Homo-oligomer: A and B are copies of this chain.
C-alpha cells in the first residue's frame, strides 16, 4: 500500500513584544500584535514527518515517541483547513491523488527537552502545518499557513517565518487577517545571538492558555497595555530592527517583558512566572549593561522562569562570557564562547543563578521551516 510522505524542521521563536490575551479563544485571535525572533534550527527545532495512506485506520500524532490526543478543537481545526486546501488542489487537477481523503500519521520530535519550558507548542504546530502542506503540495504561502498554525497555538504562526517576525492582531471576526509577517529576514541582522538560561524544573505557575484569559478577565491594567502600550512598541520595535539599532531593541524588549509580567502580577489571583532566579538573571543583565556603559544585552521571559538573553555577536564575551563565568559548570555551553571575568559585586546574584539554573542553550537568529528528506517513519 502506498504511503505518501513529507518532512520538515520548524524553529522555536521567542517574542520580544509579547502575545498575552485572546479576543477570541476559539480562533486564537490576540488582543494585541506581537513580534518575535526566530531561533536557529541548528540548536532548537521540531522535526516532523507527515504521512498519509489508505492503510491507516485514523489520524494519529506521535511526539517524542508518545501518542498525542489529536481530538482537540485546535489540532482538528488545523487538519480540517489543510485538507480543505488539498481538496482545492484535487479539484483543479484530476490527476492529483485524493490525499485529502486518507488518514494522516504524523510523527514529531523535538531536539530540546520539552521540560525546558521553551515554547515547544509554537515549533510543534508550525512543523505540523508545514509538513502536511508539503505532503499535500499546497501552493499556500507562509502567510496562509501562519493563519492555520495560529489556530493550533497562537504563537506558532510566527514560526512559519525566519528572522524577525510580526503577528498582526487583525480586525476581522473570522481571523483571516490575523497572520504572521516577515519584519526582516535573518540575513538582515544575522549577528543576533540568544542565550537561554533554563531554570531548574519547578511546576509552572499557571499554563499560558489559562493564565492569559485570567489576565484579560481580571487585570485592571491589561486593556491599557493591549490598546495603548503595545501598538507604540510594535512600531518602535520594527524600526529598531530595520535600523539594526540594538540599544533600542534591548530597551523595548526588556520593557515589554516586564510590562507583560506586570499584567500577570495584576491578575486575580496573581500569576508569578518570574522567580528569585529570574530576578538574579535580570540583575546580571543590568550589571553587564552598566559595565559596558550601554545596553549590550536584553532579557525577556515567557510564561515561565527561564531567561532568554539577546545580544550581538560582537558582545559575546561580555554577555555570554560573563554568564559563563558564573554558570560554566552547567551543560549547554558552546566551546567557542570565552569565559569572561566575573563582574565585581555580583557574587550574591551569581550564587542565586548557580542555584537556580540547570542548563543553558546558546543559539542565534535563524531561518524559517526547512524541508528535509530525513523522515521519522
Is A262 an interface position by the 8 A CB rule? yes
Size bin of chain A's contact surface: 20 to 34
Q: Which residue on chain B has the smallest CB distance to residue A282?
A: B270
A259's partner among B220, B269, B275, B282 (CB-CB below 8 A) is: B220
User: What 1/0 flags go to A264-301 for Cβ under 8 Å of B?
Assistant: 01111110100110010010001000000000000000
- Chain A, 223-276, CB within 8 A of any chain B CB: 224-225, 228-229, 251, 254-255, 258-259, 261-263, 265-270, 272, 275-276
Is A61 an interface position by the 8 A CB rule? no
Is A342 an interface position by the 8 A CB rule? no
Give CA–CA (A267, B270) in the complex, Å: 18
- Chain A, 323-373, CB within 8 A of any chain B CB: none
Q: Which residues of B contact A262 (CB under 8 A)?
A: 221, 262-263, 265-266
| Known contacts A262-B263, A275-B276; A255 and B220 CB within 8 A of each other | yes
Give CA–CA (A267, B262) in the complex, Å: 9
Give CA–CA (A221, B229) in the complex, Å: 8
Give CA–CA (A267, B286) in the complex, Å: 13
How many copies, total?
2
Q: Which residue on chain B has the smallest CB distance to residue A232?
A: B220
A258's partner among B258, B266, B286 (CB-CB below 8 A) is: B266
A275, B270: Cβ atoms closer than 8 Å: no
- Chain A, 144-165, CB within 8 A of any chain B CB: none
Question: What distance in Å separates the Cβ of A343 from its nearest Cβ neighbour in chain B?
Answer: 16
B266, A259: Cβ atoms closer than 8 Å: yes
Q: Which residue on chain B has the smallest CB distance to residue A271?
A: B258
Q: Which residue on chain B has the smallest CB distance to residue A269?
A: B286
Q: Which residues of B contact A261 (CB under 8 A)?
A: 265
B272, A279: Cβ atoms closer than 8 Å: yes
Q: Which residues of B contact A286 (CB under 8 A)?
A: 269
Question: What distance in Å separates the Cβ of A274 from its nearest Cβ neighbour in chain B?
Answer: 8
Q: Which residues of B contact A270 (CB under 8 A)?
A: 258, 282
B258, A265: Cβ atoms closer than 8 Å: yes
Question: What distance in Å separates the Cβ of A119 from its nearest Cβ neighbour in chain B?
Answer: 22
Give CA–CA (A270, B221) in the complex, Å: 17
Q: Which residues of B contact A268 (CB under 8 A)?
A: 251, 254-255, 258
Give CA–CA (A221, B261) in the complex, Å: 12
Give CA–CA (A228, B57) in the complex, Å: 58
Question: What distance in Å separates the Cβ of A229 from its nearest Cβ neighbour in chain B?
Answer: 5
Give CA–CA (A122, B232) in the complex, Å: 40
A279, B269: Cβ atoms closer than 8 Å: no
A229's partner among B220, B263, B269, B276 (CB-CB below 8 A) is: B220
15 more contacts with CB within 8 A, not counting A258-B265, A258-B268, are A220-B225, A220-B229, A220-B255, A221-B221, A221-B224, A221-B262, A221-B263, A255-B266, A255-B268, A258-B267, A259-B266, A262-B263, A265-B265, A272-B282, A275-B276
Q: Which 5 A-B pairs have the closest CB atoms?
A: A262-B262, A262-B266, A262-B265, A220-B229, A276-B276
| 10 pairs, A vs B, C-beta closer than 8 Å | A220-B225, A220-B229, A220-B259, A221-B263, A255-B268, A262-B263, A262-B265, A272-B279, A272-B282, A275-B276
